[in-house]
């Protein structure tokens, strides 16, 4: 009973630190938790991941979270996960693989970095292809790494809808008969402005923001593995 109360307190303290955008305090809280007997597994799955879910709910329902809080939540999740996984009693297996990058002609990185932090915390392997990624490379790398998903981020309308972006990735998947093995998810400002745009560019799914993308991708990977 005492440990359960202690864990609950750490959850509360961690969430407060995240919403205050206090990175150092958040890290100190999870490290203190481990020192006081909270398992590394519980730190990841009962403190860090639920905090990301709280952030998703805050954005989707309450609209009281900002970009700094989004980025901090993902960044802390990335740091904590990398620190805690080697301490797991039984090493957790990666439950899926994703290759991610920005569309051809697009050089922004913030949204992609948030997504990567969220995915790593959810035990999804991430291969970062960087920026301005050609369609052929998205597919080639997905095949090499046996990825279930290709994630394409775009900040501008013309990079989101360009013929050399998601549409071309789809064509290549079809030409290689990979459309049933590899799905495409897109994200970025143009898709928030037009929630149906992902269908126009022939993606399988889209995410409104970096934090939401972590959950959407995790759900897609699990669905494909059934």
Do 96-224 and 2-87 have the same topology in CATH? no
pLDDT tens per residue, range 181-223: 999 999 988 998 899 999 999 999 998 766 678 788 888 888 8
Q: How far is CA 70 from CA 57, 58, 63, 186, in A?
A: 12, 10, 12, 18
The full set of domain ranges for the chain reads 2-87, 96-224
pLDDT tens per residue, range 122-168: 788 899 999 999 999 999 999 999 999 999 999 889 999 999 999 99
pTM of the model: 0.69
In this prediction, residue 2 has a pLDDT band, given cuts at 50, 70 and 90, of very low
Residues 96-224, CATH architecture: 3-Layer(aba) Sandwich (3.40)
Residues 2-87, CATH architecture: Orthogonal Bundle (1.10)
Per-position DSSP letters for 37-74, written without gaps between them: T--HHHIIIIIIHHHHHHHHHIIIII----HHHHHHHH
pLDDT tens per residue, range 105-118: 998 776 787 788 77
């Amino acid at each position: 009973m005492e440990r359960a109360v202690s864990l609950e307190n750490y959850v509360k303290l961690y969430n407060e630190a995240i919403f205050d955008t206090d990175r150092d305090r958040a890290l100190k809280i999870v490290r203190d938790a481990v020192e006081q007997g909270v398992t590394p597994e519980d730190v990841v799955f009962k403190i860090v991941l639920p905090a990301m879910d709280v952030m998703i709910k805050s954005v989707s329902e309450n609209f009281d979270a900002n970009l700094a809080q989004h980025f901090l939540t993902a960044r802390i999740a990335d740091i904590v996960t990398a620190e805690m996984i080697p301490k797991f009693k039984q090493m957790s297996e990666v439950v899926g693989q994703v290759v991610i990058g920005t569309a051809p002609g697009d050089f922004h990185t913030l949204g992609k970095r948030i997504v990567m932090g969220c995915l790593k915390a959810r035990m999804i392997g991430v291969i970062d292809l960087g920026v301005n990624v050609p369609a052929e490379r998205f597919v080639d790398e997905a095949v090499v790494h046996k990825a279930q998903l290709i994630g394409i981020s775009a900040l501008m309308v013309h990079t989101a809808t360009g013929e050399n972006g998601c549409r071309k990735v789809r064509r290549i998947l079809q030409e290689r008969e990979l459309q049933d093995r590899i799905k495409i998810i897109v994200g970025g400002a143009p898709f928030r402005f037009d929630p149906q745009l992902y269908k126009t560019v022939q993606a399988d799914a889209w995410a409104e923001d970096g934090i939401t993308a972590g959950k959407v991708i995790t759900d897609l990977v699990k669905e494909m593995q059934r």
